[in-house]
Structure 1
Amino acid sequence: MTPTTSPTPAVWLTLQAADAPALIDYLVETFGFVQTARHGEGDTVDHAELLWPEGAGGVMLGSHRPGNVWSREPGTAGGYVVTTDPDTLYERALRRRAEVVRPLADTDYGSREFAVRDPEGNLWSFGTYAGTPRTA
């Protein structure tokens, strides 16, 4: 794997948004997600994909469509994103005036992390904890 490539995500966080274009812009500009796909016309986003630049995670999102089989209320999701540099990311979030719900701090389980609420109401936690390693 080179610095410009990463494995294709196998698990995606999926979101629906009242204002999908604004949420895409927020995630790209505030945290550095990379938009790799966007389908739809005008302010309607049928499907968009954002990759996390530090690893193999991603977000799929689109405009909220009540009554669809795969419909959830906007602002009801939460996600955890692993970062190697939470301090710099936290400062970036503060400069972008993100709504901080948990300031940057060290945890008792060895992570350094913070949490914010996006403009749709979803909760995002960014930290160094990469999970418990898989055993054979």
Structure 2
Amino acid sequence: MSLAADTTATIIPCLRYRNAQVAIDWLCNAFGFERHAVYADGDTVHHAQLTFGNGMIMLGSAADAASEWAGEIVQPADIGMKQTQSPCVIVTDADAHYDRAKAAGAEIVIDIADQAYGGRGYSCRDLEGHLWWFGSYDPWKDPSAS
């Protein structure tokens, strides 16, 4: 018996940003996300959904006092830029994505390179220090098919 819901994506990373409105624009410009839904009052984003293909991230304002969830999350700058998890995003052209992110000011943490397990990818930080991995390796595909 599977506990997974019959939906497009069963795991959706959630992030908090100090300036969520600016982060939404930046994530769309730098990484190619698209706005799916944004629920905000002024500068406070209570909940936003950004899509990338059939994937999605959800985000909100770090200082959203109405959110119990926000009180459980710390920002990378508050903990020496360390993280316990990061989104991994599959892209069709890792080099083109790298160029786009770098031009938008993403801090490259691991330079783009071919990976020993297949594909090509890189790691970067967004405008508030969240760590991301972007690459062409698709773990859903049969490695013998490439």
State the distance in 2 between where 1:110 and 1:133 align: 11
CA apart distance, 1:40 = 1.4
Q: Give me the whole-angstrom Cα distance separating, in 1, the residues matched to 2:19 and 2:26.
A: 11
Cα distance in 2 for partners of 1:112, 1:133 equals 15
Distance in 1 (CA, whole Å) between partners of 2:140 and 2:50 is 25
1:93 to 101, 115, 126: 101
Of 94-103 and 37-46, deviating more is 94-103
* 1:64 maps onto 2:62 in alignment: yes
Q: Distance in 2 between matches of 1:78 and 1:106?
A: 20
Identity of matched residues, %: 38
How far did 1:129 drift?
Answer: 1.5
Query: Secondary structure of the residue that 1:12 maps to in structure 2?
Result: coil
Cα offsets for 1:65-84 (capped at 9, x unmatched): 47753231123451100011
Amino acid at match of 1:126: F
- The equivalent of 2:33 in structure 1 is 33
Q: Tell me the equivalent position of 1:104.
A: 112
Structure 2: runs of 5+ lacking an equivalent: 1-6, 77-82
Matched, 1:73 2:79: no
In structure 2, what is the equivalent of residue 118 of structure 1?
126
AA in 1 matched with 2:73: R
Q: Normalization by structure 2: what TM-score?
A: 0.78
The higher radius of gyration belongs to 2
Query: Which structure: greater helix fraction?
Result: 2
Residue range with higher mean Cα deviation, 13-22 or 43-52: 13-22
Q: 1:131 to 1:34 in 2, by over 3 A?
A: same
- Structure 1 counterpart of 2:48: 48
RMSD, aligned CA: 2.0
In 1, the alpha carbon distance for the partners of 2:130 and 2:106 equals: 12
CA distance in structure 1 between the aligned counterparts of 2:20 and 2:75, rounded to whole angstroms: 10
**In structure 1, what is the Cα distance between the partners aligned to 2:57 and 2:140?**
22
- Corresponding residue pairs, total: 126
CA contact (8 A) 1:15 1:74 kept: no
